[in-house]
Each structure stands twice: as C-alpha cells, then as structure tokens.
Amino acid sequence: MELWFTEAHPASHRGLTFRVRRVLESKKSRYQQIDILETEDGERLFVLDGMVMLTTRDEFVYHEMLAHVALMAHPAPRRVLIVGGGDGGTAREVVKHPTVEHVDLVDIDEDVFELSRRHLPETAVAFGDPRVHLRAEDGAAFVKNAREPYDVVLVDSTEPIGPGAVLFGAQFHGDIHRALGPQGLMVCQSDTPFFDGDTIRELHRTIRPIYASVDLYLASVPVYPSGLWSFTLGTKAKQGARPAEPLRTPPAEWGLKYYSPEVHRACFALPPFVAELVR
C-alpha cells in the first residue's frame, strides 16, 4: 500500500504531494491538528491543519531569511520576540547572534513545542539555550502586555485565516510598534505574491500608517505554494535605518545555507509584478 499526503492550495487550484513512508505522530491539540510525517526519501514534514509548515529539506531558507535580515540590519539586537514559530527554527537562527541576550518564543500551542522536541531536533535545538524562554501563550495578548522593549520582533505565523488572522491586523501591529525599542525592526511572513497578492496588498495598506517605513523582500522556499515567498519588514526609526543594508557579515561557523550579505541586499529587489502589489 502507498500512502500519499497532499496539501491543496484552494486559491491557486494546485497542490503539493509527498509519498509518505510513515506517520511519526498525529495529534489533535486544543488548537489544531498536528501531524509529523516522514517521506520516502527521509525528510520530515511538520503539518498543521493540513498545511505544511516546514520540511527538514528546505526549512533553513525560511528560518534564515525571517531571522537574519532584521537582526543583521539592527545595530545591536539584544532582546528578541518571536511570535509563533513553536518548531524552534527561527529561535535557532536568532541565538547565533552573540549580541542577543534574551529571546521570548511565544506560541499558543504547547503541543507544538513538545512534538518539535521529539521529532524535529534540528529546529528545536535552541530550546535548551538559557537565553530562550518558551511561553505557551496567545501571541497577540503577550505583545499587548509587553513591558520591556524589544529590538526585533519576528512574526512566524500561520496563514491569515482562523486564529492567525489577528496577526495581520492593525491592532496587533500597533502593539508591536509600542513594544519595539527606538531602533526596533519587525518582520512577518506575508505569503506568496503569485497567489496571495491581496493578502500582501492589504497587509501593507494596514501597517504603513504604523511604521516609519515598510519594505517587502523575497526568498525561494520550495515547499510553500508557488515556491516564491514574501516577508514584510517594518521599521520604527524615522531616520537612519537602512534595512536593505546588512551591518555585519555572518561568520562561516554559523553554517548558513541561504542567507548572505549579498542575498540580503538582493532580496529587496522586487520583480515589477511584486512591486506593483505594494506600490
């Protein structure tokens, strides 16, 4: 018997299919259906409510580009907040920065932390870092109640549907803006320009009045719909901030596979059809 998993993408009438060797775990948490699958070629899939959040083959692209663009553009990031990202991949990249002293990793579903520890050790590796504080809480409420300022906030969210919709709204981003220090930067994933252009357009329309500047940048993530993924960066500082210019070069021992200073600069160069979405 052959077992196949398919993620359908209704907006594009397309899908992505994997031949599955075995189901490592399948659990209905308080908030969502969580599945960890192993494919026939040995990669593992992390699936929430039928949507692939990551594969162990290419997760480094998403996590490196979500984390390092903002962290390399900030002069001295010390306090970082990650909203979502309970698999730990973004935290893994954040703690590579020696200036970082404190990371709050806030994911509403504690089962995501536990299953990631068990089945995704390559992304959950930072859970043992004393700088990383795991908080199984509602991310929007946590940001609203934040008291100490953050240098960088990274929103590693699911799609803007259901519980994830609030993480694309004006109230949430207003709360992030208040939680950021004077030179603070925010990055959130913002879907694919091929099929989710309306999401990108509406997000930028919503948050432009909140941040001093808002920029879109791109990366190639094969497992996500269309393979072309966007990230939105909000800058709090009104003067002096140049997020498209990295301030440092990552050392070779970080073992980065996608991010580099050259990629950092290039990812802000948008094809005309993408630039039109946020013009």
Q: Say how far apart CA 188 and CA 162 lie, in whole Å.
A: 17
- Residue 259 CA to its chain's centroid (Å): 14
Alpha helices per DSSP H over the chain: 59-73, 89-94, 110-119, 139-144, 170-179, 197-207, 261-266, 272-278
Among 156, 175, 191, 215, the active-site one is: 156
Q: Which two tokens stand for residue 108?
A: 């509403």
Q: Which two tokens stand for residue 177?
A: 């803006």
CA Rg value for the chain: 18
Is residue 156 annotated as a catalytic residue, yes or no? Answer: yes
Task: Tell me the residue length of the chain.
Answer: 279
Query: What backbone phi and psi angles, to 5 degrees, belong to 219?
Result: -150, 160
- Residue 206 CA to its chain's centroid (Å): 19
Q: Which two tokens stand for residue 146?
A: 């934040």
- For helices 170-179 and 197-207, the axis angle rounded to 10 degrees is 50
Q: Say how far apart CA 192 and CA 62 lie, in whole Å.
A: 13
Beginning with the edge strand found earlier in the chain, give each strand of the sheet holding 44-48 in spatial order. 3-9, 14-28, 33-39, 44-48, 51-55
Q: Which two tokens stand for residue 166?
A: 């609030």
Burial of 144 (0-12, 13-18, 19+ CB in 10 A): middle
Q: Which residues are catalytic, by number? A: 156
